[in-house]
Amino acid sequence: MKRRNTKVAIVTGASRGIGAAIARRIALDGFCVVINYTGSAEPAAALAAEIEWDGGVAITAEADVSAPDAVGHMFDVAEQAFGGVDAVINNARIMKRATIAESDDALFDRQVATNLKGAFNVLREAAHRVRSGGCIVSLSVSLVKRESYGVYAATKAAVETLTAILSEELRGRNITVNAVSAGPIGTEPFLEGHPPEVIKLTARTNPLHRLGEPNPIAAAVAFLVGTAGACINGQVLRANGGMI
């Protein structure tokens, strides 16, 4: 039996990891979910089927967030399927570790294209499309002083700045704009992209002495897009276990 879903959310980069956890959680909370993905359609389709099996409502939408036209089409898909958009979770990102001295142009350009320009494209489109009473949440990261994350952390610092400014620019629209800053999360992409000694060291640098998990991050996002977070605006919620 399907739940009565009345609000609509787009989650970018939602086919796995934190994005998938967010899609599952907000579907449980009553959102019709648009699962954005790039590359293989199978993980996104499997997630949509899982949400539908659990009584939710979900569709998939392929879009490379670094391409403005693709982002516009993703919003078109949401509006055509459900009539509008009430929440946008700006999650799509890539992370490549390298010291600043060793970061080549390709590594820099790829991360900026997805993490910063992609986030900007989604925020810009959301500013035009999200309905009154809606919300926009971007994912950031708490790795500001961690070596080998310079380019990645810089893109996320820029996203936090865009978040603060957009919250002011949407004044009077009854739309909240926030960010969730996560610490290192033990998702498949993180575990695959780091050698065991780095994973162990990273876990120890957290005051809780462990990596985070996707579901608490999803809960933080659900709080911001739900009625309990309606008065939170222009903020960065640091769901990072106490990391600096």
Residues noted as catalytic: 152
Provide the H-helix boundaries in the chain: 17-28, 42-53, 68-82, 105-111, 119-129, 150-169, 188-192, 196-205, 214-225
Give residues with Cβ within 8 angstroms of 79, minimum separation 6: 85, 129
Provide the H-helix boundaries in 101-236: 105-111, 119-129, 150-169, 188-192, 196-205, 214-225
The helix or strand, by DSSP H or E, that contains position 108, with its residue range, turns out to be: helix 105-111
Q: Pick from 36, 28, 31: which is nearest to 67 by CA?
A: 36
Supply 70's token pair.
Answer: 């693709």
State whether residue 95 is helix, strand or coil.
Answer: coil
